[in-house]
Amino acid sequence: MKIRLILLLLVCFSSISFAKITTRFPSSFDDNHLPSDLASKGKELLSYETHYYTQILDHFNYNPQSYQTFQQRYLLNDKYWGGSKKNAPIFVYTGNEGNIEWFTQNTGFMFEIAPHFNALLVFIEHRFYGKSIPYGKNKETAYSNKSTLGYLSSTQALADYATLIIDLKNNLTATDSPVVVFGGSYGGMLAAWFRLKYPHVTIGALASSAPILNFGNITSPYSFNNIITQDFKGESENCYKVIKGIWKQIEDTAKTTGGLEKLRKSFRICKNYISQGSLQNWLSTAFVYTAMTDYPTPSNFLNPLPPYPVKEMCKAIDDPKTGNDMFEKVYGAANIYYNYTGNATCFNLNDHSDRHGLGGWTWQACTEMVMPTDGNNNESIFPVSEWDYNERARFCQSNFGIKPRPDWVTTEFGGNNIERVLKKFGSNIIFFNGLKDPWSGGGVLKDISKSVVAIIAKEGAHHVDLRWSSKEDPEWLRQVR
């Protein structure tokens, strides 16, 4: 059996087999759900003005189409800024694949440190996301085909940031104010790359949970799921075994008469739709994202989560009350992720809505962001499977009529032998990784030079360092910050 992880909401599910495409970054945070004790702090500190910059569509060629412009959104907070005369610094968040307001709201770290540095805060939205949509902000047009989507790329985004920052500094007559870039996840990759490619625009980068090495064959394609496996195994051996065993049980049950209906009831799936694959996918999504966001304090990804949610999931699985009912145990775990508030009455597997506007990532995964993460070896908590580039290529062909360029990221940004390359080149980059984060396997985990350094949190999850601080934060997290 081979389970296919589809973590792309845009994928058209088939009821038999699932296209294994790419794992999304957990990039969307819901502003209505600032964690309990942080809410007041967030509400006090979180403020920004919205601005727009007229951005060029293509920086790298001179076709007539490339001269088209669009309005790029950026958010500004100058409450703490020491001003241009004092050459006070500018902290820039290099936006990732979603609405910039979410990232802003979720990057409390920048708001919390700004007063200490008298820093101006700028959060720039990535082209094709949020409100920074080319073609007259018409998302339908922008996302309609490969000709329009063609301009959604990381190099264009970096050039956008350079152009916007230079212009902003000119307007503020702050050309001598140093710029430091921050980013988490894909935004962290952009921050690191921005420092490497535009050292004349930024003096340093904090790249949090940035898997810049999860390309080509630099990082093992088993790494991602191995870390998830370890996250659950670390909580309890039984928890790991139950989850590892569930896939075959689902498969076997699905084959029996009335089996799908049994599964539907066991997992409280709504009546409208169920299939073996969609159920397996729904479950694996819960495990993957919970592992990524295994934060020590309450959090919000697509859904609200308690502190240490992996531990909570394993508690549910290990609960003696559920005896030998594996479905009930795993349902209990999934319920932590999908229904922590307890409001859900049933779960809709047919809901492929993209309410956080992350759809562009499918395109990016089909062009340059070919990150091999889907391998599962014998020990994996998920069924054994191999990373298969051709599967990706077929999906991209059928979905967009496009051929990925899997070698582009390593060609443009490097990654192979990064220690040798950056030992005497580049400076002022901090790579943060939490080792519980499945993406950490593709991160920079060792100091490369005196100023290209790695900060590691053994207990940390995906860009935990950028979150709002909390009284409940454990000591290791305080130290990281």
Number of residues that bind a second copy (CB under 8 A): 55
Interface mask toward a second copy for 330-369; x: CB under 8 A: ---------------------------------x---xx-
Pick from 172, 421, 453, 456 the residue near a second copy by CB under 8 A: 421
Pick from 198, 267, 337, 387 the residue near a second copy by CB under 8 A: 198
Residue 147 Cβ vs a second copy, minimum distance, rounded to whole Å? 5
Pick from 68, 71, 84, 163 the residue near a second copy by CB under 8 A: 163
Q: Is 471 in the site for a second copy (CB under 8 A)?
A: no
Rounded to an integer, what distance in angstroms lies between the CA atom of residue 187 and that of residue 267?
35
Residue among 263 and 366 whose Cβ is closer to a second copy: 366
276: nearest Cα among 383, 378, 179: 383
Using the rule CB under 8 A, give the single segment among 95-103, 159-167, 273-281, 453-461 that binds a second copy: 159-167
Q: Is 186 in the site for a second copy (CB under 8 A)?
A: no
Residue among 37 and 58 whose Cβ is closer to a second copy: 58
Q: What is the DSSP letter of 267?
A: T
Residue among 351 and 407 whose Cβ is closer to a second copy: 407
**67 with 56: CB under 8 angstroms?**
yes
Residue among 262 and 405 whose Cβ is closer to a second copy: 405
Using the rule CB under 8 A, give the single segment among 98-106, 321-329, 376-384, 402-410 that binds a second copy: 402-410
Q: Is 403 in the site for a second copy (CB under 8 A)?
A: yes
Q: Is 389 in the site for a second copy (CB under 8 A)?
A: no
Among residues 28, 132, 154, 185, the one annotated as catalytic is 185
Pick from 103, 151, 222, 289 the residue near a second copy by CB under 8 A: 151
Q: How far apart are the first and last CA of the chain?
A: 43
Rounded to an integer, what distance in angstroms lies between the CA atom of residue 295 and that of residue 332?
19
**480 with 455: CB under 8 angstroms?**
yes
Using the rule CB under 8 A, give the single segment among 13-21, 54-62, 273-281, 459-467 that binds a second copy: 54-62
Pick from 10, 31, 66, 476 the residue near a second copy by CB under 8 A: 66
28: nearest Cα among 357, 297, 284: 357
Rounded to an integer, what distance in angstroms lies between the CA atom of residue 80 and that of residue 103?
19
Residue among 310 and 369 whose Cβ is closer to a second copy: 369
**73 with 51: CB under 8 angstroms?**
yes
Residue among 228 and 369 whose Cβ is closer to a second copy: 369
Report the SS3 class of residue 457. Answer: strand
The yes-or-no answer on residue 385 being catalytic is: no
The yes-or-no answer on residue 185 being catalytic is: yes
Residue 414 Cβ vs a second copy, minimum distance, rounded to whole Å? 3
Q: Is 216 in the site for a second copy (CB under 8 A)?
A: no
| H/E element, 208 | strand 204-208
Q: What is the DSSP letter of 160?
A: H
Rounded to an integer, what distance in angstroms lies between the CA atom of residue 184 and that of residue 405?
24
| H/E element, 90 | strand 90-94
Q: Which of residues 11-50 bind a second copy (CB under 8 A)?
A: none
What would you report as the CA-atom Rg of the chain, rounded to the nearest whole angstrom? 22
Taking the CA atoms of residue 197, residue 201, residue 206 and residue 211 in that order, the dihedral angle to the nearest 10 degrees is: -20
201: nearest Cα among 216, 214, 190: 190
Residue 446 Cβ vs a second copy, minimum distance, rounded to whole Å? 17
For the chain, what's the residue count? 481
Rounded to an integer, what distance in angstroms lies between the CA atom of residue 210 and that of residue 96?
11
Q: Is 428 in the site for a second copy (CB under 8 A)?
A: yes
Q: Is 469 in the site for a second copy (CB under 8 A)?
A: no
Pick from 349, 418, 448, 457 the residue near a second copy by CB under 8 A: 418
Letter for the amino acid at 287? F
Report residue 215 as tokens.
């390309």
The yes-or-no answer on residue 463 being catalytic is: no
Report the SS3 class of residue 262. Answer: helix
Helices within 182-235 (DSSP H only): 186-197, 223-235
Residue among 41 and 169 whose Cβ is closer to a second copy: 169
Helix %, strand %, coil % for the chain, to 5? 40, 10, 45
Using the rule CB under 8 A, give the single segment among 3-11, 14-22, 272-280, 417-425 that binds a second copy: 417-425
Using the rule CB under 8 A, give the single segment among 76-84, 143-151, 290-298, 305-313 that binds a second copy: 143-151
Report residue 106 as tokens.
């979720």
> Which amino acids are annotated catalytic?
185, 437, 462
Question: Which residues of the chain form contacts with a second copy (CB under 8 A)?
Answer: 56, 58-64, 66-67, 146-147, 149-153, 155-156, 159, 162-163, 166, 175, 196-201, 363, 367-368, 402-403, 405, 407-408, 410-418, 421-422, 424-428, 451
